[in-house]
Chain A
């Protein structure tokens, strides 16, 4: 067993001392999709002490092209991703304590997990901006470093946020973008995932061995198909009056008003999703995006309706959505974020 980490210990910046630190640390991964499974496998193989992975979704056939911990068997059984991930990770490295949480990473759940398990770092492997804003506020409030990673198509982006030191996600974005492309609307190739995973895991290892001065410190992005790469030092974007990380932080994304509201519509087999902030969708653009994927759509001046398998997603101009064909809020949220970002 002592051979297990020998090659990692031979790497001078880690060494035996670094390996001991890694094995005493706890990492929380939010999301068990492409980025989540990639990060989880790498960190479990690296011998992190404990890993908690949170996901609300189950394994589907369309996941297998890039979500590296899952097999056909998992898709056939529609196993929850967190459960299927744990099963595989336990076999990869039985020394690591792996906790699987099948749940929506909402404010309450995230604050609970963080208070209870006190993770050393949080890895973002979610598929939407809203959850990232929640992770950012939780990370700022409890002063936990977190590593942003995202990808779509052949493009990817990553940055390590250190509360109190770097700007935060809210400093950089200022607002939650609407209607961005998602892996379910614009596709995704696995090397883009793996590249983001590589950036995230490298920064995670530096943090785990407490080698902060080696952190990249730059917002990095790449496009593996158009062969572009960019990196920007963003220190100067840190805002003293930022509501998430400034001197008088209020953590706005943890408040009730800023949360997405959901409701099961009785007797209609439908779930309503109402985003916290009103959005202004270009319905025609949205309809074209759906039509490009061969999904049957209907559009009128007020809404777009699109059939997705057994369900139907109806989006109003202000971002409110109805998901027909389910009473399950988790399932409805999954569909909403997949197609609307």
Chain B
């Protein structure tokens, strides 16, 4: 399916179905991130249960510690 991730149209593989899967696809599943789906922030405990649909707008910001 195609998603609009951080403002860019990105095609993700078929097996990516949920927010959890999307984070794993981008290797962000071991990091702490804030995920916004169509304007709403998804709670961390909801990542697995939140399904993605073609055309969804996703914003992802992950935290880093360097400085």
Contacts and interface: CB of A to CB of B under 8 A. Distances in A.
A230 to B, nearest CB: 4
Nearest to A218: B61
A232 B59 CA distance: 7
Contacts of B62: 157, 221
Contact of B64 (A152, A231, A232, A234): A152
Contacts of B31: 177, 180
Interface string B32-67: 101010001100100000000000000111111111
B67 A34 contact: yes
A85 interface: no
A128 B65 CA distance: 5
Contacts of A188: 66
Contacts, number: 88
Nearest to A132: B65
A186 B66 CA distance: 10
A124 to B, nearest CB: 7
Residue among A34, A128, A157, A188 with most chain B CB within 10 A = A157
B59 A231 contact: yes
Interface in B1-55: 6-8, 30-32, 34, 36, 40-41, 44
Contact of A234 (B7, B34, B60): B34
A149 B67 contact: yes
B11 to A, nearest CB: 16
Given A172-B34, A174-B44, A237-B34, A183 B67 contact: yes
Given A177-B31, A180-B31, A230-B6, A157 B67 contact: no
Interface in A155-198: 155-157, 172-175, 177, 179-183, 186, 188, 196
Contacts of B66: 127, 150-152, 181-183, 186, 188, 341
A111 B41 CA distance: 33
A36 B66 CA distance: 12
A220 B36 CA distance: 13
A80 interface: no
Contacts of B44: 174
A36 B62 CA distance: 21
A230 B7 contact: yes
Interface in A179-238: 179-183, 186, 188, 196, 219-221, 228-232, 234, 236-237
A35 B60 contact: no
Nearest to A35: B67
Contact of A180 (B6, B41, B60, B64): B64
Contacts of B7: 229-230
Contacts of A229: 6-7
Given A35-B67, A156-B64, A157-B63, 18 more contacts: A128-B65, A151-B67, A157-B62, A157-B64, A172-B32, A173-B32, A177-B31, A177-B32, A179-B30, A188-B66, A229-B6, A230-B61, A231-B61, A232-B41, A232-B61, A234-B41, A236-B40, A341-B66
The 10 closest A-B pairs by CB, nearest first: A152-B66, A230-B6, A183-B66, A221-B61, A35-B67, A152-B64, A341-B65, A232-B36, A150-B64, A127-B67
12 contacts: A31-B67, A35-B67, A125-B67, A132-B65, A172-B32, A174-B32, A180-B63, A183-B66, A230-B61, A231-B59, A232-B41, A237-B34
